[in-house]
Structure 1
Amino acid sequence: MLNRVDIANAFGSGSTAAEVDADRLAPLLAEGEAVQAAAASAEGIEHATDDRTTTIEPEDGSHAYAVATNRRIHFLLGGEPESPEITYRLAAVTGAELRDGLLSSTLHVRTADESVRFSPVDADRAEALASYVSRVGSAWADLEGTLAGAREAMAEARETIRAGEDPTGDVQRAQMRLSKAHHCATHDDAAPTELMEAAIEPIEDELENLQVVTWTDRVAELLEDARKARASGDYDAAFEVAVEAADRIDAAREALGDSEADASADSDLAGTIEDLSADLEAVAADLFDEAEDACHVGLDTDDPAEAVAAWEDALDRYRAALAADWAGAVGPDPEALRFQLAWVVGNLIDALVAAAEECERAGDDLGEDHDDSADRYEAARDWLRRAHRLAREHPHSSGAALEEPLDRVQEKFELAQWQWGTAD
């Protein structure tokens, strides 16, 4: 608040310049606005525009004042002013300087199309005011220009979204502008950082909501990609995009939770996020349900080849989930997933061995003189090789027990080939 103490400190005690009614001046200041520097003049205020110059004179025995706050500079007359004669936003000031003449000094404050001249009583105080207005005015001007650039980038992002294209570049430009805006608010010690940050916050909230819209659009695309990948059996891709979708949903929730933007817009976005989260859980549930169904097939079937196919399908799904670091609300957590994967690998190895044994028995039944026995032994060898390779890939499984049957089947295969003259 601009009060009698502010004025007295600005002009020094014992001066009629101190006689300004604080209650009259208080309504002139906006919330958070505080006096930073002031100067008095026993003469008038010379106001120049493009087409004319006007001098505003104080009453006899009174003074004119230049009062700089952390937002604006006011020029007013002493006594009990109802309002300032002239007010400029500091951001609009293009120049503020104290010019020394032969007989007196002149405070000169300029905007793009106006100027004010003011002959101060105290040159030192006027110099301090000019320095403050120049430095802080420059900071405000930089801030406003930077925020305008952020708004422009956000407007372009909205147009990009409406065109169905990726707005990431526009959003990044807006983020860079806001980063520069924070620099404008903090790089000069004289800058009113708190006020400037308050001007940045609504734009940041707006950008966060815009990012949420961008993220939710991307999540919808990712979920469609996950469904297509699942349908084609590409479980690695399905879980990779599902994890990306989960990360973007979490980021959108966090951004929306931090936002202080329009409540109705937040509510709509929150609803969209929850719908997408439910869709993601449904996609993940399908992937894990199908993996569980495959496990049941592997356990229930009496056909070794069918069991191998079922366990391999389950393995592909669980391995893809673990590789993608899936940790969503649906399905096993990573630790449980590792145990599940180990169990599936063990069952798959057993199924491969059972399929090999069935082929070996078929070859034995045909006899080594039969022309199809070599095919049976070759199939048995291939089943065992797959089991042996899988056991080596998983430390919890041992391939040692497979060495003997693999050697035995290989020997039978080579003998059957020799019997029919096909051995290499």
Structure 2
Amino acid sequence: MGTIIDLTDGQDHEILERTEADGLFGGEYLDGRPLGEYLREGEQPKYVLRNKKSGVTVDDGRSLEPDSNFQAFALVTDLRVIFVVGQAGGDDSLSVRLPDIVGVSTESGLRSNTLVIETLADERWSFPSTGDPEPVAAYLEDATQVWANAARLLDDVEETLSRAEEAMASDEHEAAREHVDGARQTIDTAVHRISEVGPAAHQRIAGRAEELGSWLTDVERELAGGDGARAHAQAQTHWQRDEYEAAAESYDRAIESYREALDIDGSTPSTESLEERLRGAAAERELLRVGPLVDADTSRRRAVALADPEDAASEWERALDRYHDLLSLDWGDEGGQFVADREVIREQTTEIADDAVSDHYEAGRQWLRSGDKLAVQDRDKQATQVYERAAEQFEHAHTLASEIAPDRTETIETAITAAEDRLAGVRPERSVPDDPIGFEPEEEDDETETETDDSGDEMDDLSFHDSGSTATQVYEPSQTTATGSFGRENPGTESVLDRIQAQKQARAETGREGPTSAESESGDGTVVDTDPAAGSPDRLRERVKAVGTADLRDIVARLWERKGWKTSVVGAGGEVVYDVVAVDTETEERHLLWIIDADGGPVDRTVIRQCATTVEDGQGSDEAVVVTTGSVTPSAESEAENAPVSIVGLSELVDRLAESSVAGAVPSLEDGESPQT
């Protein structure tokens, strides 16, 4: 047997299994275990070198030499170099890990050749043998380079992850993402390269790689969750600024990032936290689908409610701007970002512009009349200020009319001329004309309607409703508004929301040949419940309890609509955990409705907490309403008392249906059919 043995030839070698050799010239190798027992699980032997006297030496003064009857061995594996020196009474052993080796060389002598190993600790290990150690040195050099390369790659990943966490802590998320880009590939490269050395080496590197991979996964999950949180906050900011499309895009990014984070199998942020954020973003995104329309209609309703035509005209213009913005949004049926009918919005926009023209015109007419009252009191400076206000209102009316109602410009131009004449000095002197726009100086009566006033000429904060310090009521609201003679009658009485709701109800009735067996049509066309058993609460209760979630969702939506709310059935699927959005367009209150049928199990505390969290974390929603035909636990009722959540149980739902015409929409039970339990 040679002094250098190649163990990679696929043969069985007794040197690994025995401590002594057979034959005439046999002898003892070691006093204790055979070399093979020094191998760890999965460790793969490559070479064995041996000598009988020299043993192994280290330049720090350590030296191990075999006793006279034994030998010294250097076992090279894919993990390390193991030096085992035979000693009577017990062998000695030392080892050097391959990752710690920085250099390998051979030295030739007269009677032996020496394998020399240098380590990171500046140690020099020497093992002489009579054979040629060059193949061993070549293997060690290649293996240690692979080890060093794999370890360096993983060190780089570890440093990268530390920097990424520091960047995230400083809210530098883009920098953090740049740090981790490619880290996964670097880990895979290290594992692939070390596999060339051997299975044990692969196992060692793979263990560290797995730890770094888990760390990287947590960082990636936290980055994705952070992306979602930032996009979510941006969406809310855009919505507050009425930047609806930007808000929709940000919500979509937030939802996508939250989903991406959940798909990453990490531990930070927690799955519960991410799911909660995702539900909140998805809920707000659904509200946003109707949000622009509700917000725009809010301005319209404010304009309708204002008595002062100048204030109303300003509010009409704000509403007009919002409706113009609505026309540029992605309105569609199922696939659009927002919910509405573009044609109905366009019609409403035209009517709002028409109302703005009318109120600007009326405001100008009232200012003109107020100026006349000042003129006949010889308060010329104040009258001039008021006439300027009148001219300004007429100009606003003319600008809008030129765009949307050219046929009205001639009338407005007449009013502008009247204001310009007043400013040029053509003013009433003795009495206030009944028609300030059609005033002609020669038509003045000889009688005067006013009392003189000695107050100063300065007028601050002019208003139709202010009397100033004069004894005479100079500013008084007109009893006849322009909308009665110049504009539309009953401006703004029907909103786009009203029209869309009417269309939705009409579509809901489409396909029905007539009222159901439990309904009939009254003289005014209202569908009412005429089921012979409808008067029986027990019978209606059975019918309601038998309704499935899909039908119950539509019934509840119709019930809220009968109360004057506008509803949008969302459905319970994906991350949108509620079923219906209800909006009170008079108070701007918005409810999220959860519909849980009897098969959905009892409503417990967890359900109430989820509803409350969705509302509290949401944008634009005021209250959650849980409508259930099943049972409600006492803990849920207690939880709801301290949360923005209302519970409508089976009994209350039946009572509400019985008091409305919606009861007829509840399907009748067939003979022998039992309600859900």
TM-score (normalised: structure 1): 0.65
Aligned counterpart, 2:71: 63
Of the candidates 122, 132, 148, which is equivalent to residue 139 of structure 2? 132
Over the aligned positions, Cα root-mean-square deviation in angstroms equals: 4.9
Partner of 2:400: 379
- Number of aligned pairs? 362
1:108 and 2:116 correspond: yes
Which 10-residue stretch deviates more, 351-360 or 246-255? 351-360
Which blocks of at least 5 consecutive residues in structure 2 are unaligned? 1-6, 305-315, 360-390, 418-677
Separation of aligned partners in 1, 2:245 and 2:261: 24
Give the Å deviation of 1:297. Answer: 7.4
Assess if the C-alpha contact under 8 Å between 2:397 and 2:412 holds in 1: no
Indicate conservation of the 8 Å contact 1:216/1:276, yes or no: no
Find the counterpart in structure 1 of residue 342 from structure 2. 345
Counterpart amino acid of residue 50 in structure 2: A
* C-alpha contact (below 8 Å) 1:98/1:107 kept by paired residues: yes
Q: CA deviation at 1:150?
A: 2.6
Matched, 1:74 2:82: yes
Residue pairs, 1:410-421, within 5 angstroms: 410=406, 413=409
What corresponds to 1:368 in structure 2? none
Over residues 178-225 of structure 1, what are the superposed CA-to-partner deviations in whole Å (9 max), with x where a residue is unaligned?
644544444588434843344322102102212323443443333333
Tell me: CA distance 1:178–1:415, structure 2 relative to 1, closer, same or farther (3 Å): closer
Aligned-residue offset at 1:414: 7.5
Distance 1:361 1:57, change over 3 A: closer
Q: Displacement, 1:27?
A: 5.5
| Other-structure match for 1:220 | 229
Give the aligned partner of residue 244 of structure 1.
253
What is the aligned partner in structure 2 of residue 151 from structure 1? 158
8 Å contact kept, 1:153–1:171: no
Report the secondary structure of 1:103's partner residue. coil
Distance in 1 of aligned mates of 2:31 and 2:260: 53
Determine the structure 1 residue equivalent to 2:275: 274
Residue number in structure 1 paired with 2:50: 40
CA contact (8 A) 2:56 2:63 kept: yes
Match of 1:325 in 2: none
CA separation in 1, counterparts of 2:394 and 2:179? 71
CA distance in 2, matches of 1:346, 1:310: 16
Residue 160 of structure 2 aligns to which amino acid in structure 1?
A: A
Per-residue CA deviations over 1:28-52 (Å, capped at 9, x if unaligned) read 43443222333333444322143x1
1:98 and 2:106 are equivalent in the alignment: yes
* Residue 197 of structure 2: aligned partner: 191
The CA distance in 2 between the partners of 1:279 and 1:108, in whole Å, is 66
Contact 1:157 1:170 in 2 (8 A): yes
Please list every run of 5 or more consecutive structure 1 residues that lacks an aligned counterpart in the other structure. Answer: 260-265, 323-333, 363-370, 384-408
Shift of 1:168: 4.3
| Counterpart check, 1:204 vs 2:205 | no
Counterpart CA distance in 2 for 1:361 and 1:231 is: 30
Match of 2:129 among 120, 124, 127: 120
Instruction: Name 1:165's counterpart in structure 2.
Output: 171
Larger Rg: 2
TM-score for the superposition, normalised by structure 2:
0.44
Secondary structure at the counterpart of residue 129 of structure 2: coil
Secondary structure class of the residue paired with 2:125: strand
**Structure 1 residues 216 and 113: CA distance shift in structure 2, 3 A:** same
Amino acid in the other structure paired with 1:39: L
In structure 2, the partner of 1:285 is 286
CA contact (8 A) 2:248 2:337 kept: no
- What is the aligned partner in structure 2 of residue 29 from structure 1? 39
The structural deviation recorded for 1:7 is 3.9
SS in 1 for 2:64: strand
CA contact 1:146–1:178 (8 Å) conserved in 2: no
Contact in 2 for aligned 1:132/1:190 (Cα 8 Å)? no
